[in-house]
Amino acid sequence: MTVNDFAPAPPGKPLDDARHFLKSTGIDGWLTRDYRYTNPVFEAALGRRVEHLTRPIWLWIPANGEPRLLAHEVDAERFPEGSPEISAYGSREQMVAGLRSLLDGIRKIAMEYSPMYELPRVGRVDAGTIELVRSLGVDVVPSGDVIQY
């Protein structure tokens, strides 16, 4: 299986299955991030490819509740109707504040990273992004099990 095997998921059941897994393992949610189409898992979780995105984009899938997007204001209008609710940011500081808001009260999340490079196929998030999220007081665990669920 290659990276390109992460096909966009149809709405509904795949994310419902992921939420069930998150709930059963005590993970508060799944935060997936993409920048310049480097994370095929993001597109698969969103269920579609959105063209011409130019800034980091975040998709928050809580174990309980509706998915939400955090997108730069120049990209926010590119998402079609039916996409998750979008919060827009205009600067790095606003992006961090948006993440802080998304993750308020959250203790543990899954992201596409591979501790000690154990599952390189899953590792799509750089160390700086993990450090940023952890600086918000959130424990980050690998999302490999969420993806395969």
Q: What is the DSSP string of 17-79?
A: HHHHHHHHHT--EEEEEESTT--HHHHHHHTS--TT--S-EEEEEESSS--EEEEEHHHHTTS
pLDDT tops 50 at residue 24: yes
User: Which region among 6-15, 22-31, 112-121 has the lowest average model confidence (pLDDT)?
Assistant: 6-15
Q: Is 125 helix (H, G, I), strand (E, B) or coil?
A: coil
Average pLDDT over residues 109-131: 92
Q: What is the pLDDT of residue 17?
A: 85
pLDDT at 16: 85
CATH number at residue 75: 3.40.350.10
pTM comes to 0.88
61 forms beta bridges with 30
The boundaries of the domain holding residue 96 are: 3-148
Does residue 103 sit in helix, strand or coil? coil
Residue 34 has pLDDT above 60, yes or no: yes
Q: Is the pLDDT of residue 51 over 60?
A: yes
Chain position carrying tokens 């099990």: 145
- Other C-beta atoms closer than 10 Å to the C-beta of 126 total 13
* 64/1: higher pLDDT: 64
- Total count of domains within the chain: 1
- pLDDT score for 4: 47
- Those residues whose C-beta lies under 8 Å from the C-beta of residue 65, and which sit 6 or more positions away, are none
